[in-house]
Structures are given as C-alpha cells and as structure tokens.
Amino acid sequence: MTAHPVYLDHNATSPLRPAAAAAMRAVLDDVGNPSSVHAFGQRARRLVDGVRQQIADVLASSPLDVVFTSGGTEANNLVLLGAQAERLIVSAIEHDSVLGAARASGRPVDLVPVDREGRIDLDELERMLAARQERALVSIMFANNESGVVQPVAEVARRVSAAGALFHCDAVQALGRIPVMPALLDADFVTLSAHKIGGPAGVGALVVRGAHALAPLLHGGGQERFRRAGTQNVPGIAGFGAVIQDVLQSNDERTRLAAWRDHLEATLSAAGGVVIGAGAERLPNTSAIAMPGVKSETQVIALDIEGIAVSAGAACSSGKVTRSHVLEAMKVPDALAESTIRISLGWSTDQDDISRAIAAWMALRERTRSNRGRDAA
C-alpha cells in the first residue's frame, strides 16, 4: 500500500480547509457584483462587508480600514508604493514583495540589520529614524517566512510612532499561528493573506488604520473606497472569511504543531541537524534546519522522492532555488546556509507526517555519511 504524500510546506501555501471550500462553493453557485444596486449585487456586497468586519474585528479596527487585495504581495506593494512618505526603512529579512517594492519606489531605502538569531536591531532602527528629517515608512514583518523568527513589533510600533513615522507590518505568516493582538494595535498598515492559513490563493487584505492617504496601484473604479479598483473576488473573500473563523479558534492546533515541531527539531538535532534561529521566539509551525554537508537541493529532492514536500530557502517564480537573503542577513555561514531546508507544518499535518519526515531525513543523513565514508576509504 502506497503511503499518502506528506505536505510540510505550509509557509509557501496551505491546503484549502474544508470550511473555506464549502464557503466558496456556495458563492460559486450564486451571481452578483458587489457594486451592483440590484438584489443580486447587494447580496454579494453583504457577504464582502461581512468578511470585512471579521478582519476588522481581528485587528480591533474599523471595517472602513480593510482593503481587499489579490494577496499579500499586492498589499505590500500597495503600501510601499502608495503610502505618503519620503523614505523607506525596511528590515534586511523582509519578503521579496516588500524589498522589491521598496527598490522600485524610487525613494531612499535603509535596511535594518538583524542579529544572528534573526531579530532586528532596535537600536539601529531608532538611529535610522533619527538620522534624517524626512517622514519615513518603516516596514517590519511580524514573523519571518523562512526562519519563523518573530519580531518585537509592539516595540517597533512604539519607537516608530515616537519618531513621527509610519509603521507597516507584513503579518501574513503570523495570522492564525500566533496571537497578533495587541502587538499590532498601533500599526498604521497591516498585510494579511488567506492562502497561508488554509484559505484560497488570490485574496488578501491591507488594513489601513485611520485616514492615512494611500495612492492606488489600480485605477478605474471606486471599489475599496477608491484604494483598489476592480471587482472584488467574492468567492475568495468568502473562503477568507471561513478560515478566519477557523484560525481564531485554533489554540489546540497551535499547541499540537508546536509540540510536533519541537519533537522533530530535538530528534534531528541529536542526529547532527542545526536549527536556525533556535535562540529566538519563533512560529510554532516553522523549522529551518540544516543537514551539514548535504546541499538543500539534494535534501528537497530526496525527501520528495519519499513523498515528503519541504522547501529549500526561497524559491523564485521559476521554481529555482536562490540564495537566501534571510540566512545571509543572519550571518549564517555559507556552508550551513547551503544545507538548510524549511519544514513548515499546518492544519492538515498529523503525527504520522512528522514520523515519516524524521525517518526520511535520518535515512538520508545515514546514506550521505556512509557515502562519505566509502569515498574516504
């Protein structure tokens, strides 16, 4: 009997939760543009506004602050390119959608360094804020997608506010995995995405607190209070709303994943694995772990042959593995960085998945040791 595939790449995207699939199917059987004034359109509008309220409730915000987007990348671009600021300050470990948008903005960009555990240097951030008089937009992610390291965003918000700057937080990886409030209470902009937590791909949100001006990326319609033109993705928004309900009640899930992640790391560490960022607070589902002497690509391919999906560093749109700017910023030695994979758990993970991943990793480790021993002989 063939073993079922093991999916341990939830930080890339998570399988669709049944509740999200059911909510989307119900909407796909319906019709209505939320901007239409007839009954069909107004029914769709009520659904969209209901999910808008759910997202606002999560962040103790107003539904008027919620801008639906096509995902986290668009939300990040919308704020990095559209917020009213003369300069940008971003961490060196941000997602490429933040770093790329910052570079494309044409504005001065300062990179906040991180320590060897992947935590941002708060003192350096404060120095950057004080160095110039122009208003800054600071973008610091809540939790890193590669290492899982959690940033002190409440303290970041305090320092940014004291300096009269704006604060944007990409909370895509944090939502549903750790509590995001009250840490984000004073953030001016917050990015969220559905598909990392078991919702559909192609839908996300930018929460814009207060009356901050935001130049739109898309023009030609008054949707989202003129901040994002285009007909809303009603089925996707319905699925987003369904998973928000699930993740708000997922304390047991987080506890279970943390225990399995800790067991996996303890076992692999005892066999020579090296956990990246082990000394910092991390997401309960994420492990960046190196197998010294064995390339990341080799590990990913070998595990894939065993039916186990993990990732190696950051993958670009072509699917090729690229050098991790996150590990580079953490000053992880090249040899170790080149042997690091990311194992990320999620709602569909079970204990058998963890056992099979451990067994496959250990078997690969033993094979490579044996091969090196034969080569040395």
Active site residues: 316
CA dist 149 → 59, 152, 178, 281, 313 (Å): 21, 10, 12, 6, 15
Place of tokens 């119900």: 26
Beta bridge partners of 167: 138
Q: What single letter denotes the amino acid at residue 356? A: R
The pair of structure tokens assigned to 23 is 């909510």
Spatial distance between the Cα atoms of 93 and 328, rounded to a whole number of angstroms: 9
Q: Residue-wise over 281-294: b if at least 16 C-beta within 10 A, else e?
A: ebbbbbbbbbbeeb
CA separation for the pair 137, 169 (Å, rounded): 11
Which H or E element spans position 300? helix 296-305
Residues whose CB falls within 8 Å of the CB of residue 122, separated by 6 or more in sequence, listed in order: 152, 155, 156, 159
User: Which of these, 279, 251, 95, lies nearest to 177 by C-alpha position?
Assistant: 251
Query: In sequence order, what are the residues at sequence separation of 6 or more whose Cβ sits closer than 8 angstroms to the Cβ of residue 334?
Result: none
169: DSSP letter: E
CB-based contacts of 37-45 (< 8 A; 24+ apart in sequence): 44/234
